[in-house]
Structure 1
Amino acid sequence: MHLMIPITPRAEPLPEPGGGDHSALARALLREALTASLATLDPSGGHPFVSLVTVATDYDGAPLLLASRLALHSRNMAADGRVSLLLSRPGRGDPLAHPRLTLSGIATPSGAKHLRARFLARHPKAALYIDFPDFRFWRVLPGAAHLVAGFGRAPELPPAALLTDLTGAEALLDAEPRLVEQLDAAAIQRYALRQGAPAGAWRLVGLDPGGVDLLDGERALRLPFPCHVTDPAMLDDVMR
């Protein structure tokens, strides 16, 4: 599938730390994160236990974790699914000057078949251990979120502000693995640049009704669609 992408301005700018759309910024932080600080609860004493984990997202934006049953945070989640994730956008200078999102929710094990491909697209080195019998996926259903967008801007956000509505998008989700492989790489690169993305060897690693996820080495980028996409046939129009 080849996309002909003319030079046209983007209807929705990329969310920036100084922007006013808190929901868009929170969704970008969630979709772009490659790692997160994960807080679980120690069942013996109830104290928080914080780990560094790799993270991906499900189609709707719910965080996905891959953890060994031998890991302490995995054992904690098995005993008590209440967790919190801290996701941040890296940058130069003062780390507290950059946006960050604290998400709280419930982690539950998931055996959905599509999770493996979505996780490996973002973390290809996980292929070394992803099929070990002691590893499994955890899906975090957000319950609340706290966004720090800048000085004096730290709103509380409901789950609906973070998650993408998948209603009626079965055709798109069924085709997602094929589309990730077949969408023209050069066209994706041109599209990213014309949406204001920094120069780089951007490649498509995922898509859903709300937008596309791109990766260039250790850099991840979320490009939201200008409208809700539910069918692969709509892609040619929305990505112009």
Structure 2
Amino acid sequence: MATRSEALVSNPGEDRQEPKSVIRPTDDQARQLAKGLVRAARFGALAAIEAGSGDPLASRVAVATDLDGTPVILTSTLSGHTAAIKETPACSLLVGEPGKGDPLAHPRVSLFCEARQIERGSKDHTRVRRRYLARHPKAELYVDFGDFAFFRLELNRASLNGGFGKAFALEQSDLLTPVADLEQWAAMEDGAVAHMNEDHGEAVRLYAEVLLKAGSANWRLACLDPDGLDLVAGDRTKRLWFSERLTDPQDLRPTLVALALQARNN
């Protein structure tokens, strides 16, 4: 009788098994986790190809999002990563902050992107500038300098690591929020955010402290979109998801009223 080693030599394909995939099927929980990591990110690691040398280059960048969830960065022409993404727009962005204990046990997502510079003075620039400053108010000191520019990191796909043994491959449709009328949403957001912070600060506080269990702080509304609200307090950020995606900006007011009522009744 042939030994096992002999059998493997005489028939190399015998007893071989296909490697088990570590990628889990994408579900709504994975989609929301990935989108939440991007929406809540204050910074990330940008990976690009260094201009001239072709070497890998990793840089820390401050991050915000456009209305549809596309990451946005503000960079100086003096920085190496600006030259890198201008020469080779293909890049990736890693977001997801570690907490206590093993940093590899905390969720993070790698986004595969194409960098697109936003033209200064355009409607896109006005909208992105406002949303970026809502997340990074100190950037107002230099945001309008001539050597600074905004880039949208247009999403192609993503690799989500939700912690040990929780890997997902996401497509563009898993990551972005459809916005039917971008300009209408942008105009509504501008007034709604200011109104909530100036006239309904108590409701904003309840969203954070009651609905999100975020603790007492000077919470304010930073941004909103069809999927939810971004709340900030200093360096802290929290994401409050709507129970259903809003398709019309006119649905925002009753949704905010209902959330405030829910918080007061808890």
Please state which band the TM-score falls in when normalised by the shorter chain: 0.7 to 0.9
Partner of residue 45 from structure 1, selected from 38, 41, 53: 53
Secondary structure of residue in 2 paired with 1:89: coil
Task: Please state if 1:190 is matched with 2:243.
Answer: no
Partner of residue 230 from structure 2, selected from 213, 217, 232: 213
Q: Is the 8 A contact 1:33 1:56 kept in 2?
A: yes
Partner of residue 78 from structure 1, selected from 76, 86, 90: 86
Q: Which residue of 1 aligns with 2:165?
A: 152
Q: Is the 8 A contact 1:169 1:209 kept in 2?
A: no
* Separation in 1, partners of 2:229, 2:130: 15
Task: Please state if 1:229 is matched with 2:246.
Answer: yes
* Separation in 2, partners of 1:120, 1:196: 23
What is the alpha-carbon root mean square deviation over aligned residues?
1.6
Aligned residues: 222
Q: Is the 8 A contact 1:120 1:126 kept in 2?
A: yes
Secondary structure of residue in 1 paired with 2:69: coil
- Shift of residue 197, structure 1, vs aligned partner: 3.2
Q: Which residue of 2 aligns with 1:12?
A: none
Q: Which aligned pairs between 1:87-106 and structure 2 lie closer than 5 A?
A: 87-106=95-114
TM-score w.r.t. length of structure 2: 0.79
Which amino acid in 2 is paired with 1:237?
P
- Shift of residue 110, structure 1, vs aligned partner: 0.7
* Separation in 2, partners of 1:170, 1:135: 24
- Shift of residue 129, structure 1, vs aligned partner: 0.7
Q: Is the 8 A contact 1:169 1:231 kept in 2?
A: no
- Shift of residue 40, structure 1, vs aligned partner: 1.0
Which amino acid in 1 is paired with 2:146?
P
* Separation in 2, partners of 1:171, 1:231: 9
* Separation in 1, partners of 2:143, 2:28: 39
- Unaligned 5+ residue runs, structure 1? 1-18
Which amino acid in 1 is paired with 2:250?
A
Which amino acid in 2 is paired with 1:63?
P
Secondary structure of residue in 2 paired with 1:229: coil
Secondary structure of residue in 2 paired with 1:21: helix
Which amino acid in 1 is paired with 2:59?
S
Q: Which residue of 1 aligns with 2:9?
A: none
Q: Which residue of 2 aligns with 1:7?
A: none
* Separation in 2, partners of 1:171, 1:44: 42
Q: Which residue of 2 aligns with 1:136?
A: 149
Which amino acid in 2 is paired with 1:179?
A
- Unaligned 5+ residue runs, structure 2? 1-26, 259-266
- Shift of residue 170, structure 1, vs aligned partner: 4.5
Secondary structure of residue in 1 paired with 2:167: coil
* Separation in 1, partners of 2:174, 2:155: 10
User: Residues 232 and 100 from structure 1, CA distance in 2 versus in 1: closer, same or farther, beyond 3 angstroms?
Assistant: same
- Identical pairs, percent: 40
Task: Please state if 1:109 is matched with 2:117.
Answer: yes
TM-score w.r.t. length of structure 1: 0.87
Q: Which residue of 2 aligns with 1:118?
A: 131
Secondary structure of residue in 1 paired with 2:63: strand
- Shift of residue 20, structure 1, vs aligned partner: 7.5
Q: Which residue of 2 aligns with 1:181?
A: 194
Q: Is the 8 A contact 1:86 1:100 kept in 2?
A: yes
Which amino acid in 1 is paired with 2:239?
R
Secondary structure of residue in 1 paired with 2:145: coil
* Separation in 2, partners of 1:232, 1:209: 8
- Shift of residue 47, structure 1, vs aligned partner: 1.8
* Separation in 2, partners of 1:131, 1:147: 34
- Shift of residue 21, structure 1, vs aligned partner: 0.7
* Separation in 1, partners of 2:133, 2:83: 23
Secondary structure of residue in 2 paired with 1:77: helix
User: Residues 49 and 213 from structure 1, CA distance in 2 versus in 1: closer, same or farther, beyond 3 angstroms?
Assistant: same
